[in-house]
Amino acid sequence: MKKTRTLGALGTVLSLSLALAACSGGGGSSDDDTGADGGSGDNKLTVWAWDPAFNIYALEEAEKVFQADNPDFELEIVETPWEDVQTKLTTLAQSGETDQLPDIFLMQNNAFQKNVINYPDIFADFADSDVDFSEFPESVVSYSTYDDVNYGVPFDNGTAIGAYRTDLLEQAGYTVDDFTDITWEEFLTLGKDVLAKTGKPMLTGQAGSADTIMMMLQSAGASLFDDEGEPTITDNEALLAAIDMYGQLVDAGVFVEVNSWDEYINTIVNSNTAGVVNGIWISGSIQSAADQSGKWAVTNVPKLDGVDGATNYTANGGSSWAITPNGNEALAAEFLDATFAGSTEFYDTILPASGALANWLPAGESDVYSEPQEFFGGQPIYADVLTFAAEVPSNNTGAYYYEGRDAVSVAITNILNGADPATALEEAQQTVEFAMG
């Protein structure tokens, strides 16, 4: 019998929208029994994960699929907010108490390499498993790969979409086709016209966030770090192009900055924007506005102008499953291979119930993924997004991705307030170098 318990510093379970499920940690109430000490049963696995409506729901359905051939199998799922996962991993690794680790834990993709580098003793690799990593997008697999060794099985899909209000585009004389396979310069021109004719900006976003810039970077296979993990914030052609374009979008009113995540979501559901560029997980928030059903369409994202390797595909967010060397790694790898890396039945179940789009590419062959979505005008958006996923360029996020992203966020704010771009980015470079020691 499966048990689901909670572990964390928060006193209550936080209710998160599906839009946040793919990229943020959930909450949970405290529990003195951590559910650690993985490998405690011959046919039982302990897992740390967050968000009951998304990740934990997926685990529960995966357990059912695996039990079809392994009726005695049991998952003990310990609800653990992402921040607590990171804290506990660090504490256990530094104290050497790795026997307190679970058998499986969920990890944010952009934190994966840093943890593998800093705490290699808490990870087991998948070298002896049957997981076929060629069945996942290369760009996603790269997050949990270090020195050509795979340490994670990708789960939720952070592939980015351009989602647009077809009724507002029609008012301005356009269709979603006009926003397909275009550059950001073309997007800016179209956006100015849509703004003039409808009074609506094309995009909104949270002030102080570098998410849009980071999506622009990855669309060109570029990064804030080189192949050795050293910061390349200064003299970074793609970064300079992205920041310049972002500034033009904001100055023209085509992109409107807001003060919080809630305000950002409200611009979507309250019809205060004509579009969204973000990870596919944002579709959960888009669909929360029932009155907009049939008025949205999805396509790829604009690409940077004049930048080598620029494409119309990128990603934002996502997480992967890691296994620990606690003696149960063979069973843990077998479970992940049979479910998250091998079952269309599993993905057929979780997609309509939670909007959890697979990174596992064969899932896109399922009829469920090809079903027309009424909210999006009958477009089979999930099948379309899986084709986008296969085209997303890989890039080197570096072990200090979050430090780099935060430093660039500060630089962008300063640049928009009139600072010299070269000076602001040099300060960001120095901030990251200091953090790296």
Is the same domain home to 101 and 233? no
In the predicted structure, residue 108 carries a pLDDT above the cut 70: yes
Q: Which residue has the higher pLDDT, 366 or 19?
A: 366
pLDDT for 51 equals: 81
Q: Helices (H), strands (E): how many in the chain?
A: 16, 13
Whether 195 contacts 273, CB under 8 Å: no
Whether 375 is covered by a domain: the verdict is no
Rounded CA gap, 225 and 236, in Å? Answer: 10
**What count of Cα atoms within 13 Å lies in the side-chain half-sphere of residue 41?**
13
Inter-residue long-range contacts of 339-348, CB under 8 Å, 24+ positions, other chains counted: 339/62, 339/65, 339/66, 340/58, 340/62, 340/153, 340/154, 340/155, 341/131, 341/132, 341/135, 341/136, 341/153, 343/62, 343/65, 345/65, 346/61, 346/62, 346/65
Tokens of 168: 């507002």
> Could you read off the pLDDT of 156-166 as tens digits, one per residue?
888 999 999 99
Is the same domain home to 306 and 212? yes
Average pLDDT over residues 172-181: 99
pLDDT band at 117 (very low <50, low <70, confident <90, very high): very high
- Average confidence score pLDDT of the chain: 89
Q: Which residue has the higher pLDDT, 159 or 256?
A: 256
Is the same domain home to 250 and 364? no
pLDDT for 396 equals: 83
In the predicted structure, residue 353 carries a pLDDT above the cut 80: no
Is the same domain home to 126 and 176? no
Average pLDDT over residues 80-95: 94
The share of the chain scoring above pLDDT 90, in percent, equals 72
pLDDT for 427 equals: 98
Host domain of residue 25: 3-158+317-368
pLDDT band at 9 (very low <50, low <70, confident <90, very high): very low
Rounded to the nearest 5°, which phi and psi values hold at 105?
-140, 155
87 burial type by CB count under 10 A (0-12 exposed, 13-18 middle, 19+ buried): middle
pLDDT for 37 equals: 53
Task: Name residue 320's beta-bridge partners.
Answer: 107, 154
Is the same domain home to 206 and 245? yes
**Angle formed by the axes of helices 401-416 and 237-251, to 10°?**
40
pLDDT band at 141 (very low <50, low <70, confident <90, very high): very high
Average pLDDT over residues 80-96: 94
Is the same domain home to 231 and 104? no
In the predicted structure, residue 194 carries a pLDDT above the cut 90: yes
264 burial type by CB count under 10 A (0-12 exposed, 13-18 middle, 19+ buried): buried
338 CB neighbour count, 10 Å cutoff: 19
Average pLDDT over residues 167-181: 99
> Could you read off the pLDDT of 214-243 as tens digits, one per residue?
999 999 999 999 988 899 999 999 999 999
Whether 203 is covered by a domain: the verdict is yes
pLDDT for 259 equals: 94
Tokens of 94: 């530094």
Rounded CA gap, 157 and 213, in Å? Answer: 19
163 CB neighbour count, 10 Å cutoff: 23
Helix-strand-coil split of the chain, %, nearest 5: 45, 15, 40
Is the same domain home to 294 and 399? yes
Whether 108 is covered by a domain: the verdict is yes
Rounded CA gap, 368 and 372, in Å? Answer: 9
Q: Which amino acid is at 377?
A: G
Nearest CA among 214, 262, 148, 242 for reference residue 402: 214
Whether 383 is covered by a domain: the verdict is no
pLDDT band at 402 (very low <50, low <70, confident <90, very high): confident
Question: How many folded domains does the chain comprise?
Answer: 2
pLDDT for 307 equals: 96
Rounded CA gap, 307 and 122, in Å? Answer: 39
Is the same domain home to 118 and 214? no
Is the same domain home to 205 and 98? no
> Could you read off the pLDDT of 10-62 as tens digits, one per residue?
333 333 333 434 444 433 333 434 445 554 558 999 999 988 878 999 999 99
pLDDT band at 5 (very low <50, low <70, confident <90, very high): low
Q: Give the CATH number of the domain where residue 69 resides.
A: 3.40.190.10
Instruction: State the residue for tokens 């992402």.
Output: 82
In the predicted structure, residue 368 carries a pLDDT above the cut 70: yes
Is the same domain home to 108 and 96? yes
Rounded CA gap, 19 and 9, in Å? Answer: 23
Sign of CA dihedral 116, 324, 218, 188: negative
Is the same domain home to 284 and 422? yes
pLDDT band at 334 (very low <50, low <70, confident <90, very high): very high
